[in-house]
Amino acid sequence: MKRDLADRLREIVRQPVGPRASATSAPPRELVVEPTLEMRSGLFSAVASTPPGETSPDLIARFGGVFLDEQQHVAVIDYVYESSQSHGRWPIDAARPRREAPLDWFDPTASAGSDWSLKPVFFDTETTGLSGGAGTLAFLTGCGWFEPDGFRVRQWLLLSQAGEPAMLAALGRVIADTTLLVSYNGRSFDVPLMNMRWAFHRRENPFDDVPHFDLLPTARRLWRQREGAIDDAGDASCSLSTLERDVLGFHRHGDVPGFEIPSRYFHFLRTGDASALTGVLDHHRHDIVSLAVLMSHALRIAEHGPDMCRDDYEVVALGRLYERARQPGRACDAFDRASRSADRYVRAQAFSRLGVMHRRDGRHDEAARAWQGVLEAAGGRRSLFKLERAAVEALAIHNEHRAQDFSEAKRYAETMKATASGRAANDAAHRLARLERKLSGEHKKRAPKIAPLLE
């Protein structure tokens, strides 16, 4: 590839320019090299010599869109999902926001100060790359919101960089009317990128005064360890397209891979062939609808509890979410239910969290029973070693300082010493030595700190 790029650059430089160029010579080319799709994996093969297919007006007309400006630099496309339509297992109408939904359990800052459910706007972008910087352009931006008769998705497609100010102005009018901005990884990528574009054009940033809820952290807490999707590291993919398939039951057919989207847009700019953007528009629209339905599903799980969970992994994750949201009663109920799971890994996690919560509340006997449940669920499984080690240490402490059963405490301390290393092994050795002194009664034979006065 390096050789091909060098050859292309030499070819460009050798082009005759100025008065020495003949009348029949090709027009001068700019010293710019754009990525071509043949550099990709071959999923979409198109080269600069490919004759243009569908034009921009044809594409926009086919999607029912209109041009935002007379120069046709920006197109706006609206698509309305009727309330009776479904997105996977869930009807669109069931995803409508409700003020009673416990959004503050996920992010207290997102729901503070206003009724977030009046008009939340679900926001997503498609860009020319993921590297960031002033050269990264959001060539496709979209917003979705609920209306009385359904869910509307509005997309702004940048057909030329000259249309970016018009696109930003149109997007800003929609953002200014929202009560909550919802994104997926938008806090780290989409919003900072758009902030840069508004600053680049010296325009007022409409995002500044709008509460923002990023669904990605919540999705990771709920579905990072879901049944049937855990990899060797103990986690699963939490990309939006993966979650919509695994959690919502929505399957895309013929979808454009995300890594291919920038190449399709560069191909359109180079050739004028707009047919490459058809799949990009569909991919982007599905992302926005999935974002809305997935958020509603997460809120529904939090509100209705473990009965809404699909598997025991989700029950444990829900308990952790309740614990983080300072809902100890709900958290204990979720962990107690998960502690009866047929999966040993789920049981160990549930008992471990119960032990921490009971100890925090001063219920030390219940905490000890929970720690014992961790050891019973472990069964020598290496992936449970951290939980098992924490349980052994907690039981050693409980038996030494609470139950005053030094023999039992010594047994757990010996297990700690045999399985630990480094500083943990030294701590276990000190604990074991102290317990041996207590068992031998030497702790009762200490000399007085102050010698008696001589008469």
Rounded Cα–Cα distance for residues 358 and 347 (Å): 16
> Could you tell me whether strands 66-67 and 74-82 are parallel, antiparallel, or unpaired per DSSP bridges?
antiparallel
pLDDT digits (tens, 9 = 90+) for 314-351: 999 999 999 999 999 999 999 999 999 999 989 999 99
* pLDDT > 70: percent of the chain: 81
Homologous superfamily of the 56-301 domain (CATH): Ribonuclease H-like superfamily/Ribonuclease H (3.30.420.10)
The phi and psi torsions of 415 (rounded to 5 degrees) equal -65, -40
Average pLDDT value over all residues in the chain: 83
For residue 150, how many other CB atoms are within 10 A of its CB? 16
Tell me: pLDDT of 296 over 60. yes
Q: What is the pLDDT averaged over residues 80-103?
A: 93
**Of residues 422 and 79, which shows the higher confidence score?**
79
Which one of 1.25.10, 1.25.40, 2.60.120, 1.10.3470 gives the CATH number of domain 339-443? 1.25.40
Residue 4: predicted pLDDT: 62
Q: Is the pLDDT of residue 449 over 60?
A: no
Condensed to tens digits (0 to 9), the pLDDT of residues 388-430 reads 889 988 999 999 889 889 988 888 888 888 777 778 788 888 8
What is the model's pTM?
Answer: 0.80
pLDDT at 370 over 50: yes
Per-residue burial over 75-92, b if 16 or more Cβ lie within 10 Å, else e, is bbbebebebeeebbebbb
Check pLDDT > 90 for residue 147: yes
Contact predicate 185/167, CB 8 Å: no
Measured CA to CA, the distance from residue 160 to residue 72 in angstroms comes to 8
- The DSSP string of 30-50 is -S-----GGGTTSSS---TTS
* pLDDT value of residue 131: 66
Look at 388 and 230; give whichever has higher pLDDT: 388
| pLDDT score, position 430 | 87
**Mean pLDDT across 443-448:** 50
Confidence check: pLDDT of 263 > 70 = yes
Structure token pair of residue 194: 């758009």
For residues 79-90, give the mean pLDDT: 93
Domain spans of the chain, in order of start: 56-301, 339-443
Query: In whole angstroms, what is the distance from residue 411 CA to residue 413 CA?
Result: 5
Q: How confident is the model at residue 133 (pLDDT cuts 50, 70, 90)?
A: low
Helix (H, G, I), strand (E, B) or coil at 124: strand
What is the per-residue pLDDT for 381? 52
* pLDDT at residue 423, rounded to an integer: 83
Average pLDDT over residues 241-250: 92
Average pLDDT over residues 170-187: 95
Give the pLDDT score at 55: 83
How do residues 6-56 score in pLDDT, each as one tens digit? 565 555 545 544 444 444 444 433 333 333 444 333 333 333 333 456 888
For 232-269, b where at least 16 C-beta lie within 10 A, e where not — what string? eeeebebebbebbbbbbebeeeeebeeebbbbbbbbbe
